[in-house]
Amino acid sequence: MYALRRREALKEAGITHVVSVLRLPLDKELFVQYQHKIVEVDDAENENLLEHFADTNKFISDALKSGGAVLIHCAMGKSRSATVLTAYLMASRRLAPHLALGIIKRVRPFVEPNSGFMQQLELYYQMEFAENIEDHPSYQRWVYLRDVEMSNAAGRAPERIHFRDARAEIGRITGVKEDETPEEKSGMQLKCKKCRIVLANSASFTPHMPKPAQPPHSETPKPPCAHHFVEPLLWMKTELSKGEISGKLECPKCKSKVGAYAWQGLKCSCGDWIVPGISMARGKVDEVSLKS
């Protein structure tokens, strides 16, 4: 903010465009001679700055192509403005976040995007700097998990639920393929033990996987995890859309109980706490390998 009032310094630097990354009242007279873009966000970990990257990148790029120079500022020039510049360097030079941020730190060593913004920069890199992020499966999952986190803090069920198999269909249509996890590569299906309908496959598993009955090199056998944890699936939509904090999951065909859900999380028998907790009881499903 202090730099905006240093007219002579800005003139000497050839500044023609200004990006303001903050949610504060601004004196319009400070920007009379510049092309100005405002991104209204606070320096908070739960702010979505990622959704603005495409617009700020284009604004900066157009300014430079026209022979101009850009001042990117927030309040202290440490977190928000550094994040916007890092995103531009990443996209324009195809750099990983730490490399792009390193370029900035050479001339401004104390810049430090908050942890939430750093996660968004990592996601932006994983999405290969996609311009239309709204349709990207990885972005949609990130937004869904944010909604779950905020809903849990408010003690209610999320208003928007992102179903994993719907996301897979969007990815097929848009041609965006997410990296496979080891669980997805394993090719496993979970079938209702009673009627044998397929309830889930390994593409919908959360990172937690039931641990084996006996760890390697252990003489004391341990019971396996009692549940498989999965992401929301379309056959659960009727139950999950009720707005309840927790409940039971029934097989869509035979109506037998196959699992449970709790948006605030469930504790697995192995001790892991999974949020959100959407589980299939191991005793209610059969595990079927799709690969020999």
Q: Which residues are catalytic?
A: 74
Residues making up the chain, counted from first to last: 292
Q: Report the C-alpha gap between 252 and 238 in whole angstroms.
A: 10
- Torsional class of 24: left (φ above 0), alpha (ψ -120 to 50), beta (otherwise): beta
Q: Report the C-alpha gap between 275 and 207 in whole angstroms.
A: 11
Report residue 192: phi and psi, to 5°: -60, 130
Residue in 146, 200, 208, 162 with CA at minimum distance from that of residue 181: 208
Q: Report the C-alpha gap between 236 and 76 in whole angstroms.
A: 46
Burial of 30 (0-12, 13-18, 19+ CB in 10 A): middle
Give yes or no for a contact between 192 and 199, defined as CB atoms under 8 angstroms apart.
yes
According to DSSP, residue 275 is labeled: S
In 3-state terms, what secondary structure has residue 196? Answer: coil
- Torsional class of 187: left (φ above 0), alpha (ψ -120 to 50), beta (otherwise): left
Pairing of strands 188-192, 198-201: antiparallel
Residue 98, C-beta contacts closer than 8 angstroms, at least 6 positions apart:
none
